[in-house]
Structure 1
């Protein structure tokens, strides 16, 4: 099992500019690369301080220019917000600049607030995503592609430049429901998921769906990987733990507002709304604990056969604390799990 550092890119302090936010991202990526993390990742979001990353391909290229080995995941780009005819070329160009270290994570979009203000109703996102993905894969795999679908209609065209490899960069699918995980795995995708506020039984069902699909695929699925995202932080003592848990609780109250709630946003900031979860209940779901407890709580992930854990530490801690967390996790946690044989994410064919 290996590890990813996820940049949630939350702009909590509006007295600081975007330059402060993105410079911190690059510094953390450089450190993660030096310390042997498998990857870093970022998610596309618009119009909100809750995930300020409107251009993850640009971020990936910047990180690639300052690192040597680490994989760079767009976990995820929101396909329904883009025209695949132009976006395919952007993907190819980013993959070239990332020198093959780009992993294109794709999704349908999570926040109705941003999707609908950008002209994509949430009730259309599944259909739009499915067709967009089919168009993107065709454009990255073939020349003189034409299309006659519901959302795309175009005469034969060829995306230029052509990809470094047929089909473009390695791909990863962000998906939550167990049956969707099963079907996406059967299509040959690496999977990124998270149990969110779900219990262990729900988490187990997500993992089982991935394993069931891989088993049915035989040799064709043996290189596919499952990445699980979790909020996590190593704390110094009980006071530090309480402080981090309160940060996380407020963060996920804002997240739930735009993910499953009414989407109340003021001046670009999602309002924290009561989601019925206490600080203590939130702490049970997240990995905010001492280093010793972190190893204990991650061991079931390892035993379940999860390939990669994506650590989301951007729920409120300052840059200095995040840098220290990256160091401590590499020193105290990673040696318990990371093996030299751990796989890179598979190429989707």
Structure 2
């Protein structure tokens, strides 16, 4: 099982500044590269302090310029927000500038607040995503493409430059429902998922769905990988763990507001709202504790056959704390699970 760091992109205090936030993000990527992590990831969000990343392809190119080995995942870019006729060319260029280390993670969008203010009603996002994905894949695979769909209608055109590798960069799909995981894996996508509530039965269903889809591809699916996202932090004491859980609870009170809640945002800052989930229930869903506890909590992931665990470390911590946790995981957790990168790299 390999490890990914989901880089810091949350701006809890506007006065901290985007310049410092992205300097922190780059420092984390450089450290992860040095310590042998398989990949780092950024995700697309607009108009909010949660995941402040309006240009993930641009960030991927910047990260690639300062690292040597890590893959760079866009986990995820929101396809309905882009015109695939121009975005396909941006993807090709980013793949070239990252020298093939780009993994294009794609999704439909998660926050109704940002989607609807950018003109995409959440009720349409699934349908728009499905067509956008089909258009993007066609534009990357074929030289002459025309389209007559619901959201795209255009005469024959060719995206330039052409992809370096057939069909463009590796692609990863962010999906939660087991049946959707199965269908996406069967289409040849790497998968990123999240158990969310920590329900072991549901998690196993997600993994089994991936395996079924991968198996149906036969030899063509042998290199597909399953990544699972979890929030994590190495704590030095029970009191430290509790403090980090309280930070996480505050973070998710903002996240829930725009993910499932009313979407109350004050000048770009999502308002913290009361949560139904208690802090003790949250603790069961997060990987917060000593390095030994994290090893124990991750063991079922490896036993089920998860290929990559993607760790979100910063949900309110300082940059120094984040760097220390990245280092500690590399030194005290990863050796229990990892093999050489050459054996586990995401393949074309």
**TM-score between both structures, scaled by the size of structure 2:** 0.98
2:169 equivalent to 1:169: yes
Identify unmatched segments of 5+ residues in structure 1: none
| 2:250 aligned residue | 250
Change (3 A) 1:200 1:30: same
Offset at residue 166 of structure 1 (A): 1.5
Distance, in Å, in 2 between the alignment partners of 1:270 and 1:304 is 36
SS at match of 2:68: coil
| 1:346 aligned residue | 347
Distance, in Å, in 2 between the alignment partners of 1:194 and 1:170 is 20
| 1:135 aligned residue | 135
| 1:218 aligned residue | 218
CA contact (8 A) 1:42 1:53 kept: yes
Distance, in Å, in 2 between the alignment partners of 1:198 and 1:37 is 24
Identify unmatched segments of 5+ residues in structure 2: none
| 1:193 aligned residue | 193
Distance, in Å, in 1 between the alignment partners of 2:253 and 2:8 is 15
| 2:314 aligned residue | 314
Change (3 A) 1:203 1:8: farther
**TM-score between both structures, scaled by the size of structure 1:** 0.98
Distance, in Å, in 1 between the alignment partners of 2:347 and 2:44 is 22
Distance, in Å, in 2 between the alignment partners of 1:223 and 1:99 is 20
Distance, in Å, in 2 between the alignment partners of 1:269 and 1:8 is 16
CA contact (8 A) 1:2 1:342 kept: no
For residues 186-224 of structure 1, the C-alpha deviation after alignment (integer angstroms, 9 at most, x for no partner) is 111000000122411111111111112222332222211
Distance, in Å, in 2 between the alignment partners of 1:154 and 1:255 is 38
Distance, in Å, in 2 between the alignment partners of 1:74 and 1:327 is 23
CA contact (8 A) 1:172 1:189 kept: yes
CA contact (8 A) 1:214 1:222 kept: yes
Distance, in Å, in 2 between the alignment partners of 1:196 and 1:253 is 15
| 1:95 aligned residue | 95
Relative to structure 2, which stretch is displaced further, 114-123 or 246-255?
246-255
Offset at residue 8 of structure 1 (A): 4.6
Relative to structure 2, which stretch is displaced further, 177-186 or 338-347?
338-347
How many residue pairs are counted as aligned between the two chains?
Answer: 347
CA contact (8 A) 1:173 1:190 kept: yes
Distance, in Å, in 2 between the alignment partners of 1:181 and 1:106 is 13
SS at match of 1:15: helix
After TM superposition, which residue ranges in structure 1, 4 or more long, deviate above 4 angstroms? none
SS at match of 2:57: helix
Distance, in Å, in 2 between the alignment partners of 1:4 and 1:262 is 31
CA contact (8 A) 2:198 2:284 kept: no
| 2:239 aligned residue | 239
CA contact (8 A) 2:7 2:29 kept: no
For residues 244-298 of structure 1, the C-alpha deviation after alignment (integer angstroms, 9 at most, x for no partner) is 0001111111111111111111111111222211111111110001011110110
Distance, in Å, in 1 between the alignment partners of 2:271 and 2:46 is 16
Change (3 A) 1:166 1:218: closer
CA RMSD in angstroms, aligned pairs only: 0.9
Distance, in Å, in 1 between the alignment partners of 2:272 and 2:197 is 16
| 1:77 aligned residue | 77
SS at match of 1:99: coil
Q: How does 1:276-287 map to 2 (within 5 A)?
A: 276-287=276-287
CA contact (8 A) 2:241 2:288 kept: yes
SS at match of 1:72: strand
CA contact (8 A) 1:190 1:346 kept: no
SS at match of 1:339: coil
Distance, in Å, in 1 between the alignment partners of 2:150 and 2:324 is 49
Distance, in Å, in 1 between the alignment partners of 2:42 and 2:197 is 21
| 1:301 aligned residue | 301
